[in-house]
Amino acid sequence: MAYIALDVEATGLDIHKNEMVSVGAVDIETGKRFYVECKPDNFDSIDDQALKVNGFTIEQLRNIKSTKKEALEALISFLAGFDEPIIVGYYVSFDVAMLYAAAEATGIDIGSLPKKCIDDAEIVVKEFYHKSRVIPQNAVIKRGGQDYVRASQALTVLLNMENEPKPHNALNGAIYSGEIFSRIVMHKPLGSSTSPNKEIPQTVNGVDISVWDYLRNCREVASEYKSKFDSNII
């Protein structure tokens, strides 16, 4: 069993019309990395705000050579090198949804994608909720335009880690998600383990670790998780 942190950057947040443009992944045990970019099909649907987040320009996107299908095939090949890979990500329902949308659009069998995922955002909210008195009061951790934890440098304070690497891209996003998961769940920095973890802890310091089954329809994935997560925002 392997935990693979993953991040997807896209042309916007609407899984019905936007597309993924890059995928980054990192093996939480060894630190092995993967990164691929892919050219979108529909440039008319690109959200300017999305470009501010992922750092791409229109010109850069037009110059990407790899297609979505090629990018997905490369990701599937990378994941095939791990035993029962479980995807870890921050608000992972978005990443899952984009992967499923790309698979559906390109005719790739979604059975090739991992079957389980764990969401860092849920863990972070629960962990910080129990330690809220430790957190400074003047800043925000954000993802997808939402405030998840209303506290300054909360990850740095509680996990003794750096802020997300710059520039923001899918690989750095995956590394950051992997670091969060590794420090909260595994109690060690990303890639520092000398032996593989065989089991998922059911709880960490009293915080439940939820493992989500992938659903076949990407829209159901996003809808079901968003509803449950929203109810847990502090």
Q: Which residues, 6+ apart, have CB-to-CB distance to 190 below 8 Å?
A: 5, 26, 28, 31, 175, 178, 179, 182, 183
Say if pTM beats, i.e. exceeds, 0.75. Answer: yes
Tens-digit pLDDT profile for residues 108-118: 987 788 778 88
C-alpha 112: how far from its chain's center?
18
Beta carbons of 180 and 164 less than 8 angstroms apart: no
All structural domains of the chain = 2-121+164-230 (3.30.420.10)
* Residue 192 reports pLDDT greater than 70: yes
Tens-digit pLDDT profile for residues 116-146: 888 887 777 666 655 554 444 444 544 445 4
Q: Does residue 167 have a cis bond before it (omega within 30 degrees)?
A: yes
Which pLDDT band, with edges at 50, 70 and 90, does 202 fall under?
low
